[in-house]
Amino acid sequence: MDKTMEHPIPTVVSDDYLLAARLLKLGSQVAIPTETVYGLAANAFDEDAVKGIFKLKNRPFYDPLILHTDRIEKLEEWGIAILPELQVLADKFWPGPLTLLVDKPKVIPKLVTAGLPRVAVRIPNHPLTLKLLSLLDFPVAAPSANPFGFVSPSRSEHVHHHFAGRIPMILDGGPCEVGIESTIVGLENGKVTIYRLGGIAKEEIEALIGAVDVKLSSSKPQVPGQLVRHYSPSAKVVVVDTQREMNEACKEDCAVICFDLDPPENIQKVFKLSRTGDYKEAAKNFYHAMRSWENDKSVETIVIERLPDLDLGRAINDRLRRAGPAS
């Protein structure tokens, strides 16, 4: 295969997980569905394959990758130990949208963790990908399958838009059920700490283990990937909190993504994240909504309503904070 990817290659889009497994074993990069967002996967033990991910995504090497597998026993085989404080969370939420930061064993290349002392691991909850992972005796490193700085892909067509002709296969598992990335959790001074808000709400974690710390990128940057503007779409984003702000922000050439509020009647391009005020539905729709007017040059501004800071609303708002003007 042309490792430089300078010439277009045919991209198969199908649910053939046996083919996906074969390609991954050969050292290729394959887009895979997860319940959160699509990932761009490669054999985590194969440095060249991992380098290929960074190259395809145009991702800086200081931004570490998450490992995915289907069973905790495999993590143990690879020398990845989960301390009891985090094991409780794994027991409850895996397979699911939870990533744990744990001590990195030697067998994981430094490239995967950007030289950091911990490695991020998760067992995703997608039937097709669990079947695929069950066929592999290595973990796959898989960042979200978008070029660096773009919003994450929650449907196979989003991945196709970015990577058609550049990867051999997109394993098509339909639209992602959760729709936003996993919640990243680790231990800091013995305390369970959330580093990225995601598909498991803070409330769900706290219901299980009590109060936790939250350390997002605006505080000390423990997690180098959390850069401001990481989630930016191409249009300008204006975030509003009230109906008055919504009315004022809505100019002729705008599109609107809303939850509780409604735009003025003259605005035609509107994506309501949920008709029933459901946070899960809003999260599932969020990235698709952000891409709705990707090819519509007339849309200069996307006016987005901030959600209540509750449940998955918190994680969506965090992405909005990054999509807006750097602050």
Interface residues with ligand TXA (CB under 6 A) are 34, 36-37, 39, 63-66, 97, 99, 101, 113, 116, 118-120, 124, 142-144, 181-182, 184, 196, 223, 225-226
Which of Mg ion, ligand TXA, none lies near 120, with the C-beta cut-off 5 to 8 A by kind? ligand TXA
Residue 106 or 275: the one with the smaller Cβ distance to ligand TXA is 106
Q: Determine phi and psi for 99, rounding to 5 degrees.
A: -115, 135
Residue 113 or 317: the one with the smaller Cβ distance to ligand TXA is 113
Taking each helix axis as running N to C, give the angle between helix 17-25 and helix 127-134, from 0 to 180 degrees, rounded to the nearest 10. Answer: 40
Tell me if 222 contacts Mg ion by CB under 5 A: no
Q: How far is the CB of 262 from ligand TXA (least distance, A)?
A: 31
| Rounded Cα gap, residues 34 and 244, in angstroms | 38
Q: How far is the CB of 49 from ligand TXA (least distance, A)?
A: 15
Q: How far is the CB of 264 from ligand TXA (least distance, A)?
A: 35
Residue 226 or 317: the one with the smaller Cβ distance to ligand TXA is 226
Residue 144 or 222: the one with the smaller Cβ distance to Mg ion is 144
| Per-residue tokens: 120 | 């991020």
**Residue numbers 116-175 binding Mg ion by CB under 5 A:** 144
Which of ligand TXA, Mg ion, none lies near 36, with the C-beta cut-off 5 to 8 A by kind? ligand TXA
Residue 101 or 303: the one with the smaller Cβ distance to ligand TXA is 101
Residue nearest to ligand TXA (CB): 225
Which of ligand TXA, Mg ion, none lies near 324, with the C-beta cut-off 5 to 8 A by kind? none
Which of Mg ion, ligand TXA, none lies near 37, with the C-beta cut-off 5 to 8 A by kind? ligand TXA
Bridge partners, 120 (sequence order): 66, 101
Q: How far is the CB of 66 from ligand TXA (least distance, A)?
A: 5
Contacts 24+ apart (CB under 8 A), 19-24: 19/169, 20/132, 20/169, 20/171, 21/132, 21/135, 21/136, 23/168, 23/169, 24/132, 24/136, 24/140
Question: Concatenated DSSP letters for 49-117?
Answer: HHHHHHHHHT--TTS--EEE-S-HHHHHHTT----HHHHHHHHHH-SSSEEEEEEPPTTS-HHHHTT-S
| Per-residue tokens: 117 | 């002392």
CA distances from 232 to 74, 97, 237 (A): 36, 22, 8
Residue 39 or 263: the one with the smaller Cβ distance to ligand TXA is 39
Helices and strands counted in the chain (H then E): 11, 15
Q: How far is the CB of 143 from Mg ion (least distance, A)?
A: 5
Closest CA to 155 of 293, 284, 16: 284
Residue reference for tokens 């950091």: 116
Residue ranges that bind Mg ion, judged by CB under 5 A? 144
